[in-house]
Amino acid sequence: MAFEKDWQFKKFCAYGFLKNLRFFEPFMVLFLMSAGLSYLQIGLLYSLRMLLQNFLEIPSGIVSDALGRRRTMITSFVFYILSFLAFFFSGKMTGFIIAMSIFALGEAFRTGTHKAMIFEYLKMKGWESEKVTYYGYTRSWSQRGSALSALIAAGLVILSHNYRMIFLFSIVPYVLDLALIASYPKALDGKKMNIRFSDIGKNFKEVLADFWYSFKNPLMLKTIANSAIYSGYYKALKDFLQPVIKSLALALPILTMQPAETRSAVVVGVIYYLIYRASGLAARNSGKFSLRFSSLQMALTLSIFIGAGAGLVSGLFYRFHIPAVAVLFFVAVYLVENLRKPIGMSCTADLLEKDILATALSAASQLETLFGAIFTALLGFLADKFGLANGLMIVSLLLITLTPMFFIRNSRTKA
Are 364 and 207 spatial neighbours (Cβ–Cβ below 8 Å)?
Answer: no
Residue 57 phi, psi (nearest 5): -65, -25
Cα distances (Å, whole numbers) of residue 178 to 18, 19, 58, 102, 284:
10, 9, 23, 17, 25
Max mean pLDDT range (259-268, 279-288, 295-304, 349-358): 259-268
| Chain CA centroid to CA 63, Å | 23
Nearest to 360 by CA among 190, 216, 234, 192: 216
Q: What single-letter DSSP state applies at residue 295? A: B
Least-confidence region, from 38-42, 51-55, 160-164, 285-289: 285-289
The dihedral sign for the CA sequence 367, 372, 375, 380 = negative
Least-confidence region, from 106-115, 249-258, 390-399: 249-258
Are 270 and 328 spatial neighbours (Cβ–Cβ below 8 Å)?
Answer: no
Are 347 and 297 spatial neighbours (Cβ–Cβ below 8 Å)?
Answer: yes
Can you give the pLDDT at residue 120?
A: 81
Q: How many other CB atoms are there within 10 angstroms of residue 185's CB atom? A: 13
Please report which confidence band the pLDDT of residue 414 belongs to, taking 50, 70 and 90 as the band edges: very low
Give residue-wise pLDDT tens across range 99-147.
999 999 998 888 777 877 888 888 888 887 777 778 778 877 887 888 8
How many domains does one find in the chain?
Answer: 1
Nearest to 155 by CA among 23, 9, 330: 23
Please check the confidence at residue 230 and state whether its pLDDT lies above 70. yes
Residue 144 within a domain? yes
Query: Mean pLDDT over residues 377-394, rounded?
Result: 95
Residue 90 phi, psi (nearest 5): -85, 150
Please report which confidence band the pLDDT of residue 325 belongs to, taking 50, 70 and 90 as the band edges: very high
Q: How many other CB atoms are there within 10 angstroms of residue 270's CB atom? A: 15
Domain of residue 379, residue span? 7-406
Least-confidence region, from 59-63, 190-194, 348-352, 364-368: 348-352
Max mean pLDDT range (6-10, 333-337, 372-376): 372-376
Are 281 and 338 spatial neighbours (Cβ–Cβ below 8 Å)?
Answer: no
Strand partners, 365: none
Please report which confidence band the pLDDT of residue 354 belongs to, taking 50, 70 and 90 as the band edges: very low
Residue 324 to residue 357: CA distance in whole angstroms: 44
Question: For the chain, what is the radius of gyration of the CA atoms?
Answer: 21
Please check the confidence at residue 265 and state whether its pLDDT lies above 50. yes
Residue 97 to residue 249: CA distance in whole angstroms: 30
Are 35 and 372 spatial neighbours (Cβ–Cβ below 8 Å)?
Answer: no
Residue 273 to residue 252: CA distance in whole angstroms: 18
Q: How many residues does the chain have?
A: 415
Can you give the pLDDT at residue 366?
A: 74
Can you give the pLDDT at residue 224?
A: 74
Structural element, H or E, at residue 317: helix 296-319
Least-confidence region, from 249-258, 278-287, 346-355: 346-355
269 contact partners, CB below 8 Å, separation of at least 6: 26, 150, 151, 153, 154, 155, 157
The burial of 219, by beta-carbon neighbours within 10 Å (0-12 exposed, 13-18 middle, 19 or more buried), is given as middle
321 contact partners, CB below 8 Å, separation of at least 6: none
Please check the confidence at residue 348 and state whether its pLDDT lies above 90. no
Can you give the pLDDT at residue 126?
A: 82
Least-confidence region, from 179-193, 241-255, 400-414: 400-414
Give residue-wise pLDDT tens across range 143-182.
788 888 889 999 998 888 888 999 999 999 999 999 999 9
First to last CA, the chain: 16
Residue 300 to residue 368: CA distance in whole angstroms: 14
Query: Mean pLDDT over residues 369-386, rounded?
Result: 93
Residue 102 to residue 85: CA distance in whole angstroms: 10
Residue 55 within a domain? yes
Residue 2 within a domain? no
Nearest-5° Cα angle at 198, 193 to 201: 115
User: Three-state SS for 253?
Assistant: coil
User: Three-state SS for 414?
Assistant: strand
Residue 134 within a domain? yes
Can you give the pLDDT at residue 237?
A: 92
Q: How many other CB atoms are there within 10 angstroms of residue 232's CB atom? A: 22
Residue 411 within a domain? no
User: Three-state SS for 354?
Assistant: coil
Please check the confidence at residue 229 and state whether its pLDDT lies above 50. yes
Residue 115 within a domain? yes
Can you give the pLDDT at residue 351?
A: 55
Please report which confidence band the pLDDT of residue 233 belongs to, taking 50, 70 and 90 as the band edges: very high
Residue 414 within a domain? no
Q: What single-letter DSSP state applies at residue 403? A: G
More confident residue, 165 or 195: 165
Can you give the pLDDT at residue 409?
A: 53
Residue 400 within a domain? yes
User: CATH code at 361?
Assistant: 1.20.1250.20
